[in-house]
């Protein structure tokens, strides 16, 4: 009887253990389950990581590489340039716009084809135009990655094909890149476009490119853009962005068998659990009561941070202010240099937001008013003189 009881207990323990093993990784700890080997959910404005799974592990990234290619093209100032497609670009393997050697197309249209249809031929044509050569463009890619803080990323080509061993990034780094790119209005427009037409000088019909990103084309109503990717070695990769109730999120998955569902699950979990919360409003700080600071200390931007309901009760703010050198006058704008202080917001004893504070003296206000009146008078005088 005892042995039988022990056997039943052992079977129950085995069943429970198996059930726990069948639960997808991170579902218990993170509140969201993803199929990807690496994943991240980041709030766009502040860069706060809301969820991550092996987000700092270096992996192949496939065509989400083209986010870097696109933003460098946009920032080049050459979007209206006509680009002559080289034989090297036209012969690039993989997904293609089917460009022909010698045809001319604007850089802007190449970027649309790059982002919507993932044209590898477009990537090489862009690289040669913006970087002078494919190799020169790769150097620009790595320089920009260093500038952004993508410390675990190496680019070897502008398209993401598996033609180099040293071409990789991390989910975190790709989220940083997307955060940077989404600050550019032109990138946001292109990334969120569903269909784009471009002239085709070799045919009677125009190019028509439809976005491969199913989240953009109807699968997720809050979608604002992104980029798909796939190679045999990288498997499915995806970057996507979304916005709801004033909060913008960035999701990245690397090697994800079910990437559409992964992104929807992360977005929904993020919006259900976090709210972009205003912690301080820009302008003069009413909470500073002590003279001579009172009514003079100014914050120049709203301070916001994504918080859960429980975290809202835990955040703490503090203000640190300097004093001018002894014997100086508070209303002398040259008495000290701005910023005079700093506004800090902490959560779990870690500073999550900080911003400089300035002291607005009466002398500065008077000087500003005098400058305004002087400019107004000068403008009126010139108008009378030359009008």
Give the Å distances, CA to CA, from 138 to 25, 68, 164.
Answer: 36, 10, 12
Q: How many helices (H) and strands (E) does the chain have?
A: 12, 16
User: Using CA atoms, how far apart are residues 76 and 97, in angstroms rounded to an integer?
Assistant: 22
- Known catalytic residue at 227: no
| Closest C-alpha to 89, from 124, 113, 137 | 124
Task: Cis check for the bond before 339: say yes or no (omega within 30 of 0).
Answer: yes
Q: Is 354 a catalytic residue?
A: no
Both structure tokens of 87? 């034989």
Alpha-carbon distances, residue 247 vs 38, 224, 260 (angstroms): 23, 12, 20
DSSP string across 113-161: HHHHH--HHHHHHHHHHHHSSHHHHHHHHHHHHHHHT-TT-B--SSS--
Q: Can 63 be counted among the known catalytic residues?
A: yes
Q: How far apart are the first and last CA of the chain?
A: 111
User: Active-site residue among 33, 38, 53, 63?
Assistant: 63
Closest to 107 (Cα-Cα) out of 198, 30, 214: 198
CB count, 10 Å around CB of 194?
12
Residue among 240, 319, 245 nearest 277 (CA): 245
Q: Are 264 and 34 in contact (CB under 8 A)?
A: no
- Catalytic, out of 33, 38, 53, 66: 66
Contacts of the segment 192-200: beta carbons below 8 A, 24+ positions apart? 192/216, 192/223, 192/224, 192/225, 193/112, 193/115, 193/116, 195/116, 196/109, 196/112, 196/113, 196/116, 198/105, 198/106, 198/109, 198/112, 198/113, 199/105, 199/109
Set 38, 86, 95, 118: catalytic member: 118
Q: Which residues are catalytic?
A: 63, 66, 118
């Amino acid at each position: 009887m005892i042995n039988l009881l022990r056997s039943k207990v052992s079977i129950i323990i085995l069943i429970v253990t198996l059930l726990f093993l069948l639960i997808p990784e991170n579902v218990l700890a993170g509140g969201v389950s993803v199929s990807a080997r690496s994943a991240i959910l980041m709030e766009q404005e502040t860069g706060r990581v809301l969820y991550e799974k092996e987000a700092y592990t270096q992996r192949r990234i496939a065509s989400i590489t083209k986010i870097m290619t696109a933003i460098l093209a946009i920032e080049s100032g050459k979007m209206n340039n006509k680009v002559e497609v080289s034989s090297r670009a036209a012969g690039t393997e993989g997904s293609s716009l089917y460009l022909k050697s010698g045809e001319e197309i604007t850089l802007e249209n190449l970027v649309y084809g790059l982002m919507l249809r993932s044209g590898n031929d477009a990537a090489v044509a862009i690289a040669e135009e913006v970087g002078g050569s494919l190799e020169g463009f790769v150097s620009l890619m790595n320089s920009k990655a260093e500038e952004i803080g993508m410390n675990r990323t190496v680019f070897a080509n502008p398209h993401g094909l598996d033609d180099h061993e040293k071409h990789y990034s991390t989910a975190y780094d790709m989220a940083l890149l997307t955060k940077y790119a989404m600050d550019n209005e032109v990138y946001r427009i292109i990334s969120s476009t569903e269909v784009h037409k471009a002239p085709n000088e070799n045919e009677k019909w125009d190019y028509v490119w439809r976005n491969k990103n199913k989240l953009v084309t109807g699968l997720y109503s809050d979608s604002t853009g992104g980029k798909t990717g796939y190679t045999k070695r990288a498997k499915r990769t995806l970057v996507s962005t979304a916005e709801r109730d004033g909060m913008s999120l960035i999701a990245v998955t690397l090697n994800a068998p079910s990437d559409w569902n992964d992104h929807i699950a992360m977005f929904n979990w993020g919006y259900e659990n976090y709210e972009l919360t205003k912690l301080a409003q820009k302008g003069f700080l009413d909470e500073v009561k002590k003279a001579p600071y009172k009514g003079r200390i100014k914050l120049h931007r709203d301070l916001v941070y994504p918080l859960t309901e429980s975290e809202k009760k835990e955040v703490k703010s503090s203000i640190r202010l300097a004093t001018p050198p002894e014997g100086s006058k508070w209303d002398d704008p040259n008495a000290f240099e701005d910023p005079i202080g700093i506004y800090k917001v902490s959560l779990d004893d870690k500073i999550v937001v900080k911003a400089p504070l300035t002291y607005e003296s009466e002398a500065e206000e008077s000087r500003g008013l005098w400058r305004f009146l002087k400019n107004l008078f000068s403008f009126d005088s010139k108008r009378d003189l030359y009008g």
